[in-house]
Each structure stands twice: as structure tokens, then as C-alpha cells.
Structure 1
Amino acid sequence: MANDFDESSSNEESSQGLSWWYSADPMSQNKEIKTARRIRRISLADRLLTHPGRLSILYFCVLIALVTLLLLLPFSTHDWVFTNFPVAFFTAVSALSTCGIPVVNTAEYWSMFGQVVILFSIQFGGLGVMTFASIVALGVSRRLKVSQRMLTASELGTTKLSEIKSVLTVVLGTSIIAEVVTFTLLLPELFRVNRGQIGRTLWQALFYAVSAYNNTGFTPDATGLHVNRWGVGLPILISAFVGTLGFPVVLNIVQSVRRRLSPKRWTLHTKLTLVTTGILVLTSLAWFLLVEWGNVALFPADDPGMKLRRALSAAVMPRSAGFDISWVPEVTPETKVFMSLLMFIGAGSSSTAGGIRVTTFAVIILICGASFTGHRDVVVFRRRIPRRIQMTAVSVTTACFALVIVGATSLMFVTGCDFVDAVFEACSAFSLGGYSVGVASAGNPSSMFILAGEMIVGRLGPLTIAYAISRPMAPEPIRYPQENIIVG
């Protein structure tokens, strides 16, 4: 069996340089014959499991079709009417992608059945396309294929394939615990808000708990987020913030606390995520306090404490969850551009939010810093970032920027809106931010389909789609000589 894991000349052709997980017996003729027979009888499920990216897209598309069908039914609405297809489709995509941009009032238009469908859609979307697809694979095959485990390792931020199953369990457990804690904290204040109506209180607490942790802007009542009541606004704010950090960061912090390790022992990913997130939140807080201090739509009260609460909510929510969107159309164009940048950056990797991710943004800034200072290596916290990570960050940022520009230009064509509003709406849809300035409307199906496409790509992620459609890399037999060009 030693030959099964070496890189000898007899094994390298079949392993393609991946003998660290490849298992074969090139000396056994019978095994080759049996393997060939199994390949001929491969089932559709096996084919999907060997292409996890395609499985994720299929899973997401099936869920969109199912939720859209349920929302089209008359008993999904208060008035028992058939919902037109663009509205049902857009709402399904918005919920499953955890974006939360509404085109109809959730509490007034959808019945209890329709709201339950939306709530389940938010939960399944928040678990992550790759995460839930891996759980499906576990249930079907009782084990993960190697290719499935490799992509899931990348999605969840772990590098050890043996940890995937336990990580998936912890992901589910973490989500449930966070939602249960948020639900419990919301009960007392919502009970007072609803004047003792137990049923309404329980439903709103559950909906807010799921929607907050999964960073979705849907709300169970017509008033939106009770930002003026700190007993409701603070648990939602904390839950949404934790959801933006990403599972790898939460897991690393929990493991460090259990092992009593100092923050110095945290992974580089955790440090970079927390530092970048902190800088973005503080910058956003300062922006809203300085630029929008006199905006009565955002700060209707003169109480400095209440203004600080609203500024803190406005600083955290644009990167993830679009709660309380009533004030957004009233901000200055400069603030809309600033919020578009925040939404484009988004939250942490493998989190319930979207965007290019804060670590991607941090790597881009570090690359620029190294280039401007003449350093060859990109270094942060005494750790060198591999060149592969740098190229991935640049590629993802470029592709996502192009997607946002194409979406914004398309919105300008079909709606006639100005460039700032179009970019704002495109960034919100792509980053799953959930904020809206009213560009998309039920009366303009084209705008809804454009934004739905942005949400789908934002939820699946450029890397997942690239994995689904890419072919195995062919070896390069020739490396051509390099030659410099003039750039800049």
C-alpha cells in the first residue's frame, strides 16, 4: 500500500500530482477493470457529487423554483390573489440569497403562510449554498466526495479535510444557538411593543432572530426595525454583526476561548477580518455622524443618545442587512456612494452576508501598499500572504466590479434612474445588503430580473460559479520567456 501515496513514476500519471489524497493500486489489473466497470455505471447523483459547484447551483435553482411556485399560490397573500411571476420570483431570490430587498410590504401583502415560506427561505439561504449542499451530500452518500470536501473546505475556511464533517455540525449548531439567543433577548421588549399579544410576539421574535443572524432585510411587521427601542434594536444589531464575521472567525474565536489561547494565537484570517471590520464600522459611524447629522429622515430626534443609536445601526447594517430602509432614499448622494462602497466590500468570508468580503478588500489594500513602498512580499501581522491569494483577490474584485457596473448600466437603461441610484441598487443586490432607493418596483419587471441576477451571483459567489463551469487545468508543457510592458 505504500505505492498508493507516493509520487513515483508509476503513479504520477494517474494521480496528476495529487497523490496526497489519491488512492489507487497501479499494480493491480483487476482493480482497474472493476473501476472501469463502476465508471460505466455511474449515476446522476454521483456525477453531481463529483461537481459540487454544479450541485450548489442546481440546489439553489431548485429552491428558487419551489419558493416561487409557493409564493404564486393565492393563499400566500392576504387578499387570496395570484401573485404575478416577477414579484414572486424576485421575492424568492431575495429571501434565498439573504438579500432582503422587498418590492411589496412583507407584513401587509403576504399571508402567514407566505411569511413562513419566506422565513424558511431565509434560513436555507443563510446556511450557505455550499454548506447545505454538503449536508445534502452527506445524507445521500453517507460521506463526502474528495472534490466536494475540498471546495467545502475553501468555503468554510478550514484547510483540513478531516474537519469538514465536524465543521458542518458546528456551523448548524452555531446558527441555531445564535438565533435562539436572539429570539430570547427579543421576547421581553417585543412583548411590551405588542401589548401582551403572545402569539404576535413569538412570531416577530422568531422572524427577527432568523432574519437578523442571516443578515436579511425582511421584517415581520409594517414598521420595520424598532431602532428607537434599544431592547429590540440592540439584539438584532449584535446578531447581524456576528453573522457578518463568518463561520471561520466564530469557530476560531470559540476554539481559542476553550483552549484559553490569547488573541495573538488567532489565525491570520481572524485577525485580518476583525481589524478590517472594526475599521469599516468606525469609519462608517464617523461618516453618518458628521455628514448626516442634520438629516431628519435618519435622525428625527434631537436627543444625542438616540442619534448615536441610529448612527450605529446605519454603520453596521449597510454591510449586511437592510433593516429600516425608510431613511435611505433621503440621504445625500455622497452618502449613497459611500454606502455603495461599504456594500460592495461586504462582510467576512463564509458569512451570511455578501460582497467581495472584507479580507479580499484588505488584501487589495495590502497589495497596493506593498507596491507603493517597493516591497516584493505582501506582509501583515508578520505573515506573508501567498501570491495565489493575491491573484484571487484581484480577480474576484475585478469580476465583481464589472458585474456591478453592468447591472447598474442595465438599470439605467430600463428605469431611467441616475447613475448614483443605479450603482447603489446594483451594489445592494450583489452584496446582499438589502437596502433600496426604490429603483426596482413591481411595475417594472425588467429591473427586478436584473437585480435578481445580481443577487444570485452574489449568493453563489464568483468562485463557486467558476468552479462549476471550469475544466481541469491542463499542464503547461512550455513556459515562454517573460518580457516587461509599460503599465500606469
Structure 2
Amino acid sequence: MRWRHPGQLVVAGFAGVTLIGTVLLMLPIATTAGQSTGMVSALFTAVSALCVTGLVVVDTPTYWSGFGEGVVLGLIQIGGLGVMTLASVLALLVARRLGMRLQLSAQAETKALGLGNVRQVVWGVIRLSLTVEAVIAILLALRFGLRYDEPWPRAIYLGVFHAISAYNNAGFALFTDSLIGFATDPFICVLIMAAVIIGGLGFPVILEVLRRTRRARRGRPWSLHTRITLATYGGLLVLGVIAVTLAEWRNPATLGPMNVTEKLLAGTFHGVMPRTAGFNSLDVAQFEPATLLLNDVLMFIGGGSAGTAGGIKVTTFALLAFVILAEIRGEPTVHVLNRRLPGAVQRQALTVALLGVGAVMIGTLTLLAMTSFRLDDVLFETVSAFGTVGLSTGITAKIPAAGQLVLVALMFIGRLGPITMASALAIRERPRRYELPEERPVVG
């Protein structure tokens, strides 16, 4: 097969790993009951893990055996790092070189700035991921072993699983109620939040911050992408924490019975999770309608580009805001932090946002036609799937098989990105050799 676009190889790679994961989860050895899992349930779980989402149709700790949980954990790690990133590492280890096609695919997946730094970015992604996961895993294992008297093999397993799941923004947990049992434990909650934030900022931002701290101190600023991501991510994070905490402060089914310190901790936790993590320390089904809508917005925006987070990304959201501001002011070009924004970037941001809106709306309408659930619940579910978040009001397993396949498609699109999917599915690409006469329609 002739690959016309790097995105096609990225999509094919994820599809191939999905197929392998589905087959492995269908094996009787993957379940505690020793029975084969249905294809739809296995496919849903495999895609949810590979796309680091966290939505589930079966209870992870009770349904899957150790082998099944291992498959889920492996898919989370592969999905978080990226199929092309791991393929590049394998090629470097075996052949000590990267072919041009693999370099283009890795560049498209990791958002490397050029072919010259693909190798450097790939190794940086691997080292960063393994380092953060190892530190979080050790601290969590110590907490589970010392505070909750878990046997040390079990404590280590819990620490490793939740560290990988948190850093990759997957949201899979080995507790039936996710992290509700640890809602008032600041140690575990802060560690999970830290891993989620680091993974959600995106590899380019973290790597640049680590490498260029001295440069920034000397008066040479970080790149425009890093500055936009840090500012927007931080602003939305603070906004989410404050809004969720205030909205649920008196809700007797969530924050109401807690003391002030516990309310602040749980509110902060749920202000961070819509960044596409998917863990919950409160019962999401009991959230106020305003909280659900706020979560919809935050989940749709997502986290940083080229990381483990989903959504349309905070950079897309910020760039659209700058475009709107420039248009309102009547400015002929868009300026962002003393830099001019190219027209191609503006079109790309608009395309990503509108394709995302279209995907969520089609998915929501389809599920509303298939089920009798409320709009609040269905919209929350579809946005969570597209944003690869994993939060749910508890309707996932109750959706019919056809509806679960709709969520599978949304998770796949959300993880790879609307533009990557669209370009991979395009019949052909061709340059435009001429321009037609210009005419301005009425807008607004």
C-alpha cells in the first residue's frame, strides 16, 4: 500500500495495535471468570486504553484477570507514548537509523518541529515518560503499603498501574469506584493530579521547559507554543477548580458533607480531571447540571498538543480567541505575544475546532436516537469520549452495542486528532495551481 500522507501510517499503526489488543482481551485468560469476552466489549476496552480515555463497559478490577489488566496497562502505555514514537525507538535500537517514512510519521505524531530533531524528540519523550511514571509509582506504592496496609507486591502493582494511567491521562483505576475511596487523602490525590498535569501539558512544552530554563532566565523567552500552552492551560485549570468547587460546595451528594479542607481538595481534584484524565473522587452522576456543562467545555478543550491529553487542545482554543479578538478590533493580521500568526495556522485551528464540534454533535444525536438517556448525560458521554477523558455519569455500560461503537469512533478520532483522521481518509491530495476570482459574501 502506498502511504500518501504521514497521518495514514499513524492511523494504520493505531488500528493495528487496536486489533491486537482486542484479540488479546477476547482470550479466556484475560477474564477472572475464564470466559471469552464479546468482541464489542473487548474492542471498546482496547480502544479506550489505547486512546488513553478510561471509559469502561465492564468493571476493570473485577472483570479482567491479571493478564487482562496487563494488556490494558500495555495499551495505555503504547497509546500515551504513541505507536510511531515506539516504532521509532525500536528502529533506533535495532537498525540504529530512522527511515524517511518513519521520521515523517513520528514528526506528525510528536509534533516535532523538523526532521532534524525527530530522534532527539523521540528519546526525550521516552525518558520523560519513564522518569515521571517511575517517581509517581514509587511514591504511590509507599502510600498504599504504609498507609493502607496493602501487601507490598500489591502496593507496588497499584502504584505502577495508577502512575502509568495518571501520567498518560487514561483514567483507568483498579478500584470499582475509581478514587472515591481516596477523596480525602491529599497524598494520593496530589500525586495523581501532578502526573495528570505533567502528561497533559504535552511533550514539546515539558521538554522545552526542561531544556531552556536557563535560556529564559537570560531574557530569551520560550517559544510561542510553550507560552500559549502554559498560560492557557494554567488559566483554564484555575477556572475549572474554582467553578467546580463553588458549583458543588453545597451539593449534599458530592462536596456538601465534607469539611472545608476536604471540599477544597476534592474540588481541586475535579477541576484538574477534565483536562482529559478521567479519574473521579466524587460521584459524577450526582453533579449539578451546571457542573456537567462546565466539564463538557473543559473536556472539549482538553490539554496540551502532542501529549497524552485529548480535546481540541488549549493552543487551538487560545489561537481562536486571538483570531476573534483581532477581527473585533478590525486588525488585518493576528498578533500573538509579539508574533504574527500565519493564515495557515488560523485555518488549522478553525478546522480542528469545527471538526470536533461536528463529531460531538453527530455522536450526541446518534446516541439520543438510540437511547432514552437525558441530553446532559449523553452529551457528557460523547464529549468525554471525543476528549479522551473517561469521566462518565454511569451510562456507558447501559448504551447498546451500536452506541458503544459510536463512542469507539469518537475516542479514536479524539486521540489521533480530527485533522489527522481527515487527512488519512482523504482520497487524494493535490496542490492548487490557480486561484479563482475573489468575491466577498455577507458574514454575520
Structure 2 residue aligned with 1:67: 21
Structure 2 residue aligned with 1:398: 354
Structure 1 residue aligned with 2:122: 168
Report matched runs for 1:131-280 at 5 Å: 131-135=85-89, 143-146=97-100, 148-225=102-179, 226-257=182-213, 259=215, 261=217, 265-280=221-236
Structure 2 distance, partners of 1:98, 1:455, is 9
Structure 1 distance, partners of 2:297, 2:389, is 11
Structure 1 residue aligned with 2:61: 107
Structure 2 residue aligned with 1:331: 287
TM-score (norm 2): 0.94
Say if 2:327 is the partner of 1:371: yes
Structure 2 residue aligned with 1:35: none
* Residue type of the alignment partner of 2:15: C
- Residue 83 of structure 1 aligns to a residue whose secondary structure is coil
Structure 1 distance, partners of 2:294, 2:18, is 32
- Residue 441 of structure 1 aligns to a residue whose secondary structure is helix
* Residue type of the alignment partner of 1:238: A
Question: Would the alpha carbon gap of residues 318 and 476 (structure 1) be closer, same or farther in structure 2, given more than 3 Å must change?
Answer: closer
User: CA-to-partner distance for each residue in 1:365-420, whole Å, 9 max, x for gaps?
Assistant: 11111111111121121111111100000011111100000000011011122222
User: CA-to-partner distance for each residue in 1:311-370, whole Å, 9 max, x for gaps?
Assistant: 110111012111126511111122111111110000000010110000000011111111
8 Å CA contact 1:328, 1:435 repeated in 2: yes
8 Å CA contact 1:215, 1:321 repeated in 2: yes
- Residue 173 of structure 1 aligns to a residue whose secondary structure is helix
Shift of 1:289: 2.1
Report matched runs for 1:429-440 at 5 Å: 429-440=385-396
User: CA-to-partner distance for each residue in 1:453-472, whole Å, 9 max, x for gaps?
Assistant: 10011112122223323466
Structure 2 residue aligned with 1:388: 344
Shift of 1:52: 3.0
Shift of 1:198: 0.6
* Residue type of the alignment partner of 1:340: D
Shift of 1:438: 2.4
* Residue type of the alignment partner of 1:486: V
* Residue type of the alignment partner of 1:236: I
TM-score (norm 1): 0.86
Shift of 1:153: 3.0
- The structure having more radius of gyration, on CA atoms, is 1
Question: Would the alpha carbon gap of residues 235 and 140 (structure 1) be closer, same or farther in structure 2, given more than 3 Å must change?
Answer: same
Structure 2 distance, partners of 1:296, 1:351, is 36
Shift of 1:431: 0.6
8 Å CA contact 1:59, 1:133 repeated in 2: no
The percentage of aligned residue pairs carrying the same residue is: 36
Report matched runs for 1:269-418 at 5 Å: 269-299=225-255, 301-324=257-280, 326-418=282-374
* Residue type of the alignment partner of 1:239: A
- Residue 102 of structure 1 aligns to a residue whose secondary structure is coil
Question: Would the alpha carbon gap of residues 56 and 150 (structure 1) be closer, same or farther in structure 2, given more than 3 Å must change?
Answer: closer
Shift of 1:132: 3.2
Structure 2 residue aligned with 1:25: none
Question: Would the alpha carbon gap of residues 464 and 136 (structure 1) be closer, same or farther in structure 2, given more than 3 Å must change?
Answer: farther
Report matched runs for 1:42-121 at 5 Å: 47=2, 51-121=5-75
Give ranges in structure 1 of 5+ residues lacking alignment: 1-43
Task: Number of aligned residue pairs: give it.
Answer: 442
* Residue type of the alignment partner of 1:444: P
Question: Would the alpha carbon gap of residues 145 and 471 (structure 1) be closer, same or farther in structure 2, given more than 3 Å must change?
Answer: farther
8 Å CA contact 1:440, 1:447 repeated in 2: no
Structure 2 distance, partners of 1:471, 1:411, is 29
8 Å CA contact 2:215, 2:221 repeated in 1: no
8 Å CA contact 1:364, 1:393 repeated in 2: yes
Shift of 1:227: 2.8
Structure 2 distance, partners of 1:57, 1:324, is 30
Structure 2 distance, partners of 1:102, 1:263, is 48
Structure 1 distance, partners of 2:314, 2:148, is 38
8 Å CA contact 2:55, 2:396 repeated in 1: no
Structure 2 distance, partners of 1:96, 1:268, is 30
- Residue 377 of structure 2 aligns to a residue whose secondary structure is helix
Greater CA drift, 347-356 or 126-135: 126-135
Give ranges in structure 2 of 5+ residues lacking alignment: none
Structure 1 distance, partners of 2:128, 2:66, is 27
Shift of 1:150: 4.0
Shift of 1:217: 1.1
Structure 2 distance, partners of 1:132, 1:364, is 32
CA RMSD of aligned residues (A): 2.1
